[in-house]
Chain A
Amino acid sequence: MEREVMTFDVLIVGAGPAGLASACRLKQLDPELNICVVEKGSEVGAHILSGAVIDPKALTELFPDWKERGAPLTLATERDEVVLLKDNRSSIKIPHWMAPKSMHNQGNYIASLANLTRWLGEQAEALGVEIFPSFSAADVLYDENMQVKGILTGDMGVGRDNMPKDNFMPGIELHAPFTLFAEGCRGHLGKELIRQFKLDQGKDPQHYGIGLKELWDIDPAKHQPGLVIHGSGWPLQGDTSGGFFLYHAENNQVAVGLIIDLNYSNPWLSPFDEFQQLKHHPLIAQYLEGGNRVSYGARAITKGGYNSLPKMNFPGGMLIGCDAGTLDFSRIKGAHTAMKSGMIAAEAVHHALKNNETDASTFEARYTQSWLYRELYKARNFGPALHKLGRWLGGAFNTLDQGLFNGKLPFTLHDLQEDHASLHRSSESKPITYPKPDGKLSFDKLSSVFLSNTNHEEDQPCHLQLSKEEIPLTVNIPLYDEPAQRYCPAGVYEVIDDDAGKKLQINAQNCLHCKTCDIKDPCQNIQWMPPEGGGGPNYPNM
């Protein structure tokens, strides 16, 4: 098919913190540049979900006057608490000096990353960046030398049967000397590019977590704006690492969430139900009781950090932000590092454009001289220590490593097992029974998904593709009792057991675009593909 072609100077896939920071930086360096950003969400910010306690470091470098420009960072963190939940009733507060230094939050802001992203979108548009929400990037386009020459936007108006409908609109080719891929964690094009250019050669496997979050309106009497609580322990069992957060944000709202590392081994584990159970702990329930849940969402997190960070530049483009994996897991913060990676990438791309080079090869040197490199290097042992030494010893190690040695210990811990390979057989694992939701503090999956405002055009091909149709029946159901029905936070995967036997049903319209299935499927059989542009969650204030 002959497709329409449009050409830009720089093309950016994904209007998140990384993509928009690089767009703004490029325009600051050269206002003449023609920059196009495509975004699969229905608007900028629609697919952005984060805690979030935000370190304004990168933002201050990008827009030193962000306060005057009205950036939605207005609530400074007031107080940090780090706690360990011993069981369903009791907890221990970790004294400030014993908590890893990376868990201290002075100078940071409790904010909605979705709203910060909306604001970044406005700044970018004011600088003349063209942003196109509701347009997904379906494929990478290469030239005859296998250099990236752009992307193909997704077709619109294709029916479930793969046939064009009346309102069919074919995708178009967007070309540019440089394409920056900023899709966020486990971008489907990023995944292809890493394979295509062997960007992960010599690196540890990437590691991931799944984060679930809710926003609550709470009783003003219980609200302590600026209070940040982090913790771990119950209800997660000893061999599952993860942690929760509870942030007292503005307007009598709190953000509460749970992050579970996706290297968990028990296929009976359900991150969603662990999260629902967590909220019944008195430490958390004391704030939520009498409140109202207003929003729900989930997103996978790239957390391998320094050891797993792939090479980010390749001919004709770059991977930036969480698409590469720049999150600092020791601080559970990725917005400032994603933005910084985008800004450094912008500088490298600008240099390459000026010198007519096809690879932004100065990136590496710029990166290693930046605070981004120093921050990620310092945190390199944090995740592996927790995985290898466990919650107690690993936690103690991290306190010493981060606090006493400032991340300068002369060795590096590695975690070489891929997350999808960590599941044990269901028959060899202890089934977990979760209490029924009470409808006040805890809820079922479907009423939760409703609050994410997710929506997909119903008559379209299923965007969750199985490489081999038979795997659920031959492997996943018999060996693992199909873990997808539990790790999916949106109830997309359902095992139907009727007269004809068991089968896997995929309710793709519930999808929150979190990408967990693409990461955790033990056979790597599920491919997350972008649905029709504009589909997916519509997160306000997340």
Chain B
Amino acid sequence: MKILVAVKRVIDYNAKVRVKADNSDVDLNNTKMAINPFCEIAVEEAIRLKEAGSADEVIVVSVGPKACQEQIRTALALGADRGIQIETDDIPESLNVAKLLAQVVKNEEPGLVLLGKQAIDSDNNQTGQMLSALLGMPQATFASELTLKDGKVQVAREIDGGSQTLSLSLPAVITADLRLNEPRYASLPNIMKAKRKPLTVTTPETLGVELKTHSTLIKVTPPVERSAGILVNSVDELVEKLKNQANVI
């Protein structure tokens, strides 16, 4: 069985997000970029399934400019077998990504498609769901445990106030939550080997997908800075201030 994993290049979770002076977008100039942490968890899960003998090939796919090959190489260094980059000028919105991935799925015919539950930059949480709908495949989102058994996949997913266990027939689309696993470190020899693993570049035109814009980014503003607090001397003063100054009670 093949497993297809989608990865996204995002701002590193350690980097402080800065907004451009003209509020047109987030400033990513010379900022550390990384593989989206949830995507990395999806890659790790695919590799573990391969190591357990449940899969024979792990394919990693990313959508974006050439720079996203770095993240594909990272996934290859972790243990994926080959990569596909779908070259676009910038990162298209979720529906476009889902359509591109759907085409790759049709070409590659994987038994399982794994994605991160959402990307930490746009926080959309849409691509996996849209992809399963486009493909007519069953989906399990927010997976925290995944077991392959008798041609089916059993997924424990995190829901409000507890956990739900689903059984899905294959092929299926699954999105990874934080608790699914803890990704390994890429070893130095594996990073070297990853440089020689196959990576093919394709385009939306080759895949026959027309990218459409459904929304326009108007403005990005940083959150309002919290003003400094004040120390009050008594409960009475606190209540007085909450009532008359903050107007919250």
Check A362 for interface membership: any CB of B closer than 8 A: no
- B188–A6 touching, CB < 8 Å: yes
Q: Which of B29, B32, B188 contacts A172 (CB 8 A)?
A: B188
Q: Decide: B182 and A540 in contact? CB cutoff 8 A.
A: no
Q: Is A235 in contact with chain B by the CB < 8 A criterion? A: no
Cα of A169 to Cα of B21 in the assembled complex, Å: 42
Assess A169 versus B12: contact at CB under 8 Å? Given A130-B192, A540-B31: no
B244 within 8 A of A: no
Which residues of A have CB within 8 Å of B228?
A: 439
Tell me, rounded to whole Å, the shortest Cβ–Cβ distance linking A258 to chain B.
22
Interface pair A541/B188, CB less than 8 Å apart:
no
Residues of A near B182 (CB, < 8 A) are: 166-167
- A167-B185, A169-B185, A172-B187 known; A538 and B12 CB under 8 Å? yes
| Bound CA–CA A132/B73 (angstroms) | 13
Q: Determine whether B238 belongs to the interface, using a CB cutoff of 8 Å to chain A.
A: no
| A521 in the interface (beta carbon within 8 A) | no
Partner of B188 from A132, A166, A454 at Cβ < 8 Å:
A132
The B-contacting residues of A in range 137-181, CB under 8 angstroms, are 153, 156-157, 166-167, 169, 172, 174
Chain B residues, Cβ within 8 Å of A118: 30
List 6 tightest A-B contacts by C-beta distance, closest first: A455-B14, A156-B185, A540-B30, A169-B185, A538-B32, A540-B31
A45 x B187 contact (CB < 8 A): no
Is A443 an interface residue when CB atoms closer than 8 A count as contact? Answer: no
Instruction: Assess whether A453 is in contact with B189, with CB atoms less than 8 Å apart.
Output: no
Q: Which chain B residue shows the least CB distance to A4?
A: B189
* Cross-chain contact B32 with A42 (CB below 8 angstroms): yes
B209 to chain A, nearest CB (A): 31
Question: Which of chain A's residues have a CB closer than 8 A to the CB of B214?
Answer: none
Residues of B at under 8 Å CB distance from A? 12, 14-16, 18, 21, 29-32, 182-185, 187-189, 191-192, 228
Given the known A-B contacts A45-B30, A157-B185, A167-B185, are A453 and B191 also in contact in the complex, defined by CB atoms under 8 Å?
no
- Given contacts A42-B32, A114-B30, A252-B21, are A538 and B185 in contact (CB under 8 A)? no
Contacts of B188 in A (CB 8 A): 6, 132, 135, 153, 172, 174
A255 at the interface (CB under 8 A from B): no
Nearest CB of chain B from residue A155's CB, rounded to whole Å: 10
In the complex, what distance in Å separates the CA atom of A454 from the CA atom of B29? 18
Residues of chain B contacted by A132 (CB below 8 angstroms) = 188, 191
CB of A115 within 8 A of CB of B30, answer: yes
Query: What B residues does A309 contact at CB under 8 A?
Result: none
| A450–B32 touching, CB < 8 Å | no
Is residue A43 contacting chain B, with contact meaning CB distance below 8 A? yes
By the criterion CB–CB under 8 Å, are A169 and B32 in contact?
Answer: no
Judge if A76 is at the interface, Cβ distance under 8 Å. no
Nearest A residue to B192, CB-CB: A130
**Contact between A46 and B32, CB atoms less than 8 A apart:** yes
On chain A, the number of residues with a Cβ less than 8 Å from chain B's Cβ atoms is 33
Is the CB of A217 closer than 8 A to any CB of chain B? yes
By beta carbon, the residue of chain B nearest A538 is: B32
Q: CB-defined interface of A8-27 with B at 8 Å, one 1/0 digit per residue?
A: 00000000000000000000
List, sorted by A's number, 22 A–B pairs whose CB atoms are closer than 8 Å: A6-B192, A42-B14, A45-B30, A46-B32, A115-B30, A118-B30, A132-B188, A132-B191, A153-B188, A156-B185, A166-B182, A169-B184, A172-B187, A172-B188, A217-B21, A294-B18, A450-B16, A451-B16, A453-B16, A540-B30, A540-B31, A540-B32
Total residue contacts A-B, CB cutoff 8 A: 56
B82 to nearest A CB, angstroms? 21
Q: Is the CB of A453 within 8 A of B32?
A: yes
Closest to A217 in B: B21
Shortest C-beta distance, B222 to chain A (Å), equals: 10
A213 to chain B, nearest CB (A): 15
Question: With A167-B184, A167-B185, A538-B12 in contact, do A43 and B32 touch (Cβ < 8 Å)?
Answer: yes
Q: CB-CB contacts of A240-281 with B at 8 A, as 1s and 0s?
A: 000000000000100000000000000000000000000000
Tell me the chain A residues, 114-134 only, with Cβ under 8 Å from chain B.
114-115, 118, 130, 132
* B187 and A169 contact, CB distance less than 8 A: yes
Q: Which residue of B lies closest to A135 (CB)?
A: B188
- B14's partner among A45, A157, A217, A453 (CB-CB below 8 A) is A453
Q: Known contacts A115-B30, A132-B191, A453-B32; is A538 also within 8 Å of B184 by CB?
A: no
Q: Check if A540 sits within 8 Å of B29, measured CB to CB.
A: yes
Given contacts A42-B14, A153-B188, A169-B184, 11 further A-B contacts (CB under 8 A): A4-B189, A157-B185, A167-B184, A169-B187, A217-B21, A294-B18, A453-B32, A454-B14, A538-B12, A538-B32, A540-B32
Q: Chain B residues near A172 (CB, 8 Å)? A: 187-189
Contacts of A115 in B (CB 8 A): 30
Q: CA of A112 to CA of B31 in the docked complex: distance in angstroms?
A: 13
Task: Tell me the minimal C-beta distance from A450 to chain B in angstroms.
Answer: 7
- The interface residues of chain B lying within 8 Å CB-to-CB of A43 are 32
Q: How far is the CA of A363 from the CA of B191 in the complex (A)?
A: 33
B184's closest neighbor in chain A, by CB?
Answer: A167
- Chain B residues with Cβ below 8 Å from A455 are 14
How many Å from the CB of B15 to the closest CB on chain A? 5
How far apart sit A281 and B185, CA to CA, in the bound complex (Å)? 48
Q: Are A453 and B15 in contact, with the CB atoms below 8 A?
A: yes
Q: Who on chain A is nearest to B18 by CB?
A: A294
Q: Kindly state the separation between the CA atoms of A439 and B14 in the bound complex, as whole angstroms.
A: 23
CA distance A538 to B191 in the complex (A): 21
Specify which chain A residues have a CB less than 8 angstroms from the CB of B192 in the assembled complex.
6, 130
A450 to B17, CA, bound (A): 11
Cα–Cα, bound, A166→B44 (Å): 14
- B30 and A538 contacting across the interface, CB-CB below 8 Å: no
Cβ contacts under 8 Å, B30 to chain A: 45, 112, 114-115, 118, 540-541
Of B15, B184, B189, B191, the contact of A540 (CB 8 Å cutoff): B15
Q: Is the CB of A6 within 8 A of B189?
A: yes
Residue numbers in B under 8 Å from A252 (CB-CB): 21
Contacts of A167 in B (CB 8 A): 182-185
Q: Which residues of A contact B21 (CB under 8 A)?
A: 217, 252
- CB-nearest residue of chain B relative to A153? B188
Q: Tell me the complex Cα distance, A220–B187, Å.
A: 46
